Amino acid sequence: MTQNLNETLRVNGQQSRWHAFETQDSLNQAAVKRILTAADGAISKYGSFLIVLAGGSTPKSVYQLLSKEQADWSKWHIYHNDDRCLPVDHAERNSLMARQAWLNHVAIPQNQIHDIPAELGNIEGAKAYTQTLKGVRTFDLVLLGLGEDGHTASLFPNQAVDNSADAVPVFDAPKPPPERITISQNRLNNTHEVMFLVTGGGKQQAVDQWRSGVAIPATLIALEAGVDVYYFGVSLT
């Protein structure tokens, strides 16, 4: 496995560390290692590990690898950064993907897997998930992806940033389905670590914009500690 820390970049008040990988598999393996290391550290410090999952094909591959690992699963607490307002068993639900790829195969207690109830609709589902997050301490690790338009979670370009609650409804998303629920920018930033997983040439324009200072939604996630970007299939300029 080859990993290179290309550089640390600061744009729009966000510090980002860009890690290059030579293959998709090496990125996946490194992501798994990073997640397990974060889990061990959090469990040692807090007695629990709070992770926020991303949807998409790259995270799915990571989750499939995690399903084969040994960990202190009883201490893990699972959240999702967003989900689509579709039936629970719909193939496009992020929660279903994570369960099928990983969560159904390990011994995380069911009451510690917190799916977004997006089947209730974006308004009621967001209210319910805000209640789920009420009193939850700072997350340990947030996983995020990057859309071709620069979106992350369901924070989309040219849409007002809603920080009125920990989970907020999304209307008129530019990619279907239009109604979604996302954890808010402020709550996503209330975490100890963030790892973006960015793969594929289709993300090149978004990466170029990000690195050149365009205020795409991915730049809204700006921890004091910075964020890490694991990337494959795009080039840095």
Domains belonging to the chain, first-starting first, are 3-232 (3.40.50.1360)
* Residue 222 pLDDT class (50, 70, 90 cuts): very high
Close Cβ partners of 93 (under 8 Å, ≥ 6 residues apart)? 83, 84, 86, 87, 118
Q: What is the mean pLDDT of the chain?
A: 95
- Chain-centroid distance of CA 84 in Å reads 14
Close Cβ partners of 33 (under 8 Å, ≥ 6 residues apart)? none
- Chain-centroid distance of CA 113 in Å reads 15
Checking 131-135 for CB contacts under 8 A at 24+ apart, the result is 132/167, 133/79, 133/166, 133/167, 133/183, 133/187, 134/166
Residue 158 has pLDDT above 50, yes or no: yes
**Contact by Cβ (8 Å): 78, 105:** no
pLDDT digits (tens, 9 = 90+) for 114-136: 999 999 999 999 999 999 999 99
Q: Collapsing DSSP states into helix, strand and coil, what is residue 215? A: coil
Q: What's the average model confidence in pLDDT over 33-61?
A: 97
Distances (CA, A) of 186 to 138, 155, 179, 222: 11, 12, 20, 10
- Judged on CB neighbours under 10 Å (0-12, 13-18, 19+), 47 is exposed
* Residue 160 pLDDT class (50, 70, 90 cuts): very high
Residues pairing with 82 in the sheet: 182
Residue 178 has pLDDT above 90, yes or no: yes
